[in-house]
């Protein structure tokens, strides 16, 4: 359960601190007040997306934090924390997340830094968020399978099947390569063999190119190099700096014998003399070793040219050329062993096909068994949501196969599609063809309710679940949300007073302007303030006597119910 939320400098929110309670928490406010911004901040805290555009104008950082109470059923969340050595404070954990204007973001659970993915993984065990347009996923047939698998409790089993299916697909691709014509394989082998031979015979070394380039530069500019070294040697040599410094050293040695304060200076001159004398010797040896070899220059240039051609053919660098040779050798070995491996891979494919068939058949059977329960549960909830005559159906189309194999996809043999008949006497048809926006919202609410009862998720968040509904249907939705909140914490944004009146906690979202800046604030309302907010939701005018009286009656009925 989410106990509190603190938001600072997020979008239009300057600073907001809220406390949520168990049961049904309603967020209300005028259109554009920032209700969805608050849900956006909560989504960000739970590991959702968040960019620098989330930072309030003029601020350097957006920060969101919240306390989550780990209830008795949160076994998976407790295990997640234990695996990472994170200790709850009693049964509570503090979650924090921030993003700076330079794009850097950070997240913590208690005092332990975590990644965005880790944060989302942890909170997914505790909170389920249904966004404004999530009901549109019901229009995507591919999403229907996920709902049914979640209800059937086979999500992990289907994931294992997907891995098995991928392994079979990979083996089949390898088998297809084996079936390529002998001529194609021979041509490929010839090209690979030529590349391996050419690169191998070149005897490339990883650091050879730089050494050759340096040698080529010395040989090609020999005369200039020799002249410069000769000039330096002369400057240091017989009539140069070293003899002069030697004479200066002798004179200073005599002077130091007279005035001992010159001893330190003498030591420095002696050090300079020995250093330059050694340097002169080094340069003489270097000069004496210089020689110009036209044949060697030609050999170096030829070697560099050969390396350049290999790089142009096989890669931008010598390392790439060598890697190409290794890969070509591996492919040659693979081609050579194709015939030997044909029987082995055929046996592996046959075994994988048997395993896929067994696993897929088991999944299909579990989906078939679960579909009846899902249909009954959804229809039962739809009846409480103003769709008393609706029929909900899970269509499972299974492709025909042989006794040991089955035409399959990555998630099994079934094509799952939800059908609905909103009115009595109508045949069930695809949701996308006949369901209105309001009906889709109610079907999604029913599915979320059914799935919530089947898992340990303690908090459900609905962002404007009232899309496309009103009147008696809104009353039914409100009653259903209240019933749902008896076993779960529910947070819900709504524009409808008939839903808001069901709340255990009602939070009003307000937009204000001050000093040329717009801010979104939020606070819990009760007593007369809540009456005024319900009255505003009823008539757009929280001050009229009629709307206030209506609000009192609505709240009284809900309290009595």
- Domain spans of the chain? 1-126+457-525, 526-561
Contacts for 156 with CB less than 8 Å, ≥ 6 apart: none
- pLDDT for 406 beyond 70: no
SS3 of residue 93 by DSSP: strand
User: What are the distances in angstroms from CA 163 to CA 159, 169, 352, 398, 410?
Assistant: 7, 10, 11, 20, 8
Task: Return left, alpha or beta for 406; rule: phi > 0 is left, psi -120 to 50 is alpha, else beta.
Answer: beta
Strand order across the beta sheet in which 105-109 lies: 112-114, 105-109, 92-100, 61-69, 2-10, 13-19, 517-525, 505-514, 24-28, 489-493, 459-463, 127-130
Q: What is the mean pLDDT of residues 147-165?
A: 92
3-state secondary structure 193-248: HHHHHHHHHHCCCCCHHHHHHHHHHHHHCHHHHHHHHHHHHHHHCCCCHHHHHHHH
What local confidence, expressed as pLDDT, does residue 245 receive?
80
Q: Which residue has the tokens 């050798």?
A: 329
The residues pairing with 507 across neighbouring beta strands, listed in sequence order, are 27, 524
Q: Highest mean pLDDT: which of 180-184, 357-361, 446-450, 498-502?
A: 357-361
Q: What pLDDT shows up at residue 272?
A: 87
Greatest distance between any 2 Cα atoms in the chain: 128
Inter-residue contact 496 to 537 (CB < 8 Å): yes
What SS3 class is residue 116? helix
Arithmetic mean of pLDDT over the chain = 84
Mean pLDDT confidence for 325-347: 80
* pLDDT digit string, tens, across residues 20-44: 999 999 998 887 777 888 888 999 9
pLDDT at residue 131 above 70? no
135 vs 209, more confident: 209
Give bridge partners of residue 492 from the DSSP assignment: 26, 462
DSSP string across 471-498: HHHHHHHHHHHHHHTTTSEEEEE-S-HH
Q: Are 383 and 390 in contact (CB under 8 A)?
A: yes
458: left (phi over 0), alpha (psi -120 to 50) or beta: alpha
Of the two residues 143 and 182, the one the predictor is more confident about is: 143
Rounded Cα–Cα distance for residues 72 and 98 (Å): 29
The per-residue pLDDT for range 237-263, each reduced to its tens digit, is: 667 787 888 888 888 888 888 888 888
Distances (CA, A) of 467 to 38, 372, 419, 533: 18, 28, 21, 20
In the predicted structure, residue 492 carries a pLDDT above the cut 60: yes
Decide which of 278 and 438 is more confident. Answer: 278
pLDDT of residue 436: 66
Q: How far apart are CA 353 and CA 389, in angstroms?
A: 44
Token match 């993915």: residue? 117
DSSP string over 271-286: HHHHHHHHHHHHHHHH
Spatial separation of the C-alpha atoms in residues 121 and 127, rounded to whole Å: 11
Residue bearing the bigger pLDDT, 172 or 234:
172
pLDDT value of residue 137: 64
Tell me 66's DSSP state. Answer: E
* Percent residues over pLDDT 70 in the chain: 92
- Answer whether residue 403 shows pLDDT above 60: no
Q: 175 burial class (0-12, 13-18, 19+ CB within 10 angstroms)?
A: middle
Q: Is 522 exposed, middle or buried (0-12, 13-18, 19+ CB in 10 A)?
A: buried
Do 12 and 511 form a contact (C-beta atoms < 8 A)?
A: yes
Q: What is the pLDDT of residue 127?
A: 87
Q: Rounded CA gap, 213 and 311, in Å?
A: 15
Instruction: Report pLDDT digits (tens) over 364-386.
Output: 999 999 999 999 999 988 888 88
Beta-sheet pairing, 414-421 with 429-430 = antiparallel
Using the predicted structure, report yes or no on whether residue 232 has a pLDDT greater than 70. Answer: yes
Q: What is the mean pLDDT of residues 216-245?
A: 76
Cα atoms in the 13 Å half-sphere on the side-chain side of 293: 11
| Gap between the terminal Cα atoms of the chain | 25
The torsion angle over the Cα atoms of residues 147, 35, 23 and 46, rounded to 10 degrees, is 60
Cβ neighbours for 308, distance < 8 A, ≥ 6 positions apart = none
Q: What is the structure's pLDDT at 435?
A: 59
Residue range 499-504: mean pLDDT, rounded: 89
CB 208 within 8 A of CB 214: no
CB count within 10 Å of CB 227 equals: 10
Specify which of 141-150, 395-404, 539-548 reaches the highest per-range mean pLDDT.
141-150
Long-range contacts of 448-455 (CB under 8 A, 24+ apart): 448/128, 448/130, 449/381, 449/480, 449/484, 450/151, 450/374, 450/377, 450/378, 450/381, 451/147, 451/150, 451/151, 452/128, 452/484, 452/488, 453/487, 454/150, 454/151, 454/153, 455/150
- Residue pair 395/464 in contact by the 8 Å Cβ criterion: no
* The predicted structure's pLDDT at residue 167: 94
Work out the pLDDT band at 186, boundaries 50, 70, 90. confident
How high is the pLDDT of residue 181? 61
pLDDT classification of 236: cutoffs 50, 70, 90: confident
Lowest mean pLDDT among 3-17, 119-133, 409-423: 119-133
What is the reported pLDDT for 450? 84
Give the alpha-carbon dihedral of 75, 76, 81, 83, to 10 degrees.
110
* pLDDT exceeds 70 at position 437: no
The CATH H-level (homologous superfamily) assignment of domain 1-126+457-525 is P-loop containing nucleotide triphosphate hydrolases (3.40.50.300)
83/180: higher pLDDT: 83
Strand ranges inside 363-458, DSSP E: 391-398, 414-421, 429-430
**pLDDT of 384:** 83
pLDDT in tens, 47-79: 988 889 899 988 999 999 999 999 876 788 888
Higher pLDDT, 162 or 278: 162
DSSP-derived secondary structure letter, 29:
-
């Amino acid at each position: 359960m989410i106990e509190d939320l603190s938001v600072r400098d997020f979008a239009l929110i300057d600073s907001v601190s809220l406390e949520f309670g168990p049961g049904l928490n309603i967020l209300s406010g005028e259109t554009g007040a920032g209700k969805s911004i608050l849900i956006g901040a909560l989504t960000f805290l739970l590991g959702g997306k968040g960019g620098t555009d989330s930072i309030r104008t003029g601020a350097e950082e957006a920060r969101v934090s919240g306390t989550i109470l780990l209830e008795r059923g949160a076994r998976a969340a407790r295990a997640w924390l234990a695996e990472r050595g994170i200790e709850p404070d009693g049964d509570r954990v503090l979650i924090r997340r921030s993003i700076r204007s330079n794009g850097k973001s950070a997240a913590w659970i208690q005092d332990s830094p975590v990644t965005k993915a880790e944060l989302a993984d942890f909170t997914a065990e505790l909170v389920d968020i249904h966004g404004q347009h999530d009901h549109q996923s019901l229009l995507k047939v591919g999403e229907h399978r996920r709902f049914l698998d979640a209800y059937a409790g086979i999500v992990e089993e289907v994931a294992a099947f997907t891995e098995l299916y991928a392994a079979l697909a990979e083996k089949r691709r390898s088998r297809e390569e084996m079936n390529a014509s002998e001529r194609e394989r021979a041509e490929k082998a010839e090209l690979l063999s030529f590349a391996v031979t050419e690169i191998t015979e070149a005897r490339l070394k990883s650091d050879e190119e730089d050494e050759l380039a340096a040698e080529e530069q010395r040989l090609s500019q020999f005369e200039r190099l020799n002249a410069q070294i000769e000039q330096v040697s002369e400057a240091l040599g017989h009539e140069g700096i070293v003899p002069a410094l030697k004479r200066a050293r002798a004179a200073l040695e005599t002077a130091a014998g007279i005035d001992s304060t010159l001893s330190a200076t003498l030591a420095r001159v002696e050090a300079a003399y020995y250093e330059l004398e050694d340097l002169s010797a080094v340069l003489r040896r270097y000069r004496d070793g210089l020689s110009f070899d036209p044949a060697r220059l030609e050999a170096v240039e030829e070697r560099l040219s050969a390396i350049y051609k290999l790089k142009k053919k096989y890669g931008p660098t010598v390392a790439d050329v060598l890697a190409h040779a290794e890969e070509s050798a591996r492919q040659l070995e693979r081609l050579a062993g194709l015939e030997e491996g044909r029987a082995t891979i055929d046996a592996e494919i046959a075994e994988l096909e048997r395993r896929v068939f067994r696993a897929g058949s088991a999944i299909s059977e579990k989906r078939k068994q679960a579909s009846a329960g899902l249909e009954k549960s959804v229809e039962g909830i739809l009846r409480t949501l103003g769709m008393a005559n609706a029929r909900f159906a899970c269509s499972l189309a299974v492709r025909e196969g042989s006794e040991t194999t089955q035409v399959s996809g990555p998630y099994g043999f079934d094509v799952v599609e939800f059908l609905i008949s909103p009115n009595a006497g109508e045949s069930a048809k695809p949701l996308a063809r006949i369901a209105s926006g309001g009906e889709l919202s109610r079907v999604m609410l029913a599915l979320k309710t059914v799935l919530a009862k089947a898992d340990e998720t303690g908090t459900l968040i609905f962002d404007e679940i009232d899309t496309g509904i009103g009147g008696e249907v809104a009353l039914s939705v409100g009653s259903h949300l209240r019933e749902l909140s008896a076993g779960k914490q529910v947070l819900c944004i709504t524009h409808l007073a008939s839903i808001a009146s069901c709340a255990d906690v009602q939070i009003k979202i307000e937009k204000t302007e001050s000093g040329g800046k717009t801010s979104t604030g939020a606070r819990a309302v009760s007593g007369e303030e809540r009456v005024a907010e319900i009255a505003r939701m009823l008539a757009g005018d929280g001050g009229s006597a009629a709307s206030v009286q209506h609000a009192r009656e609505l709240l009284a009925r809900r309290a009595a119910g």
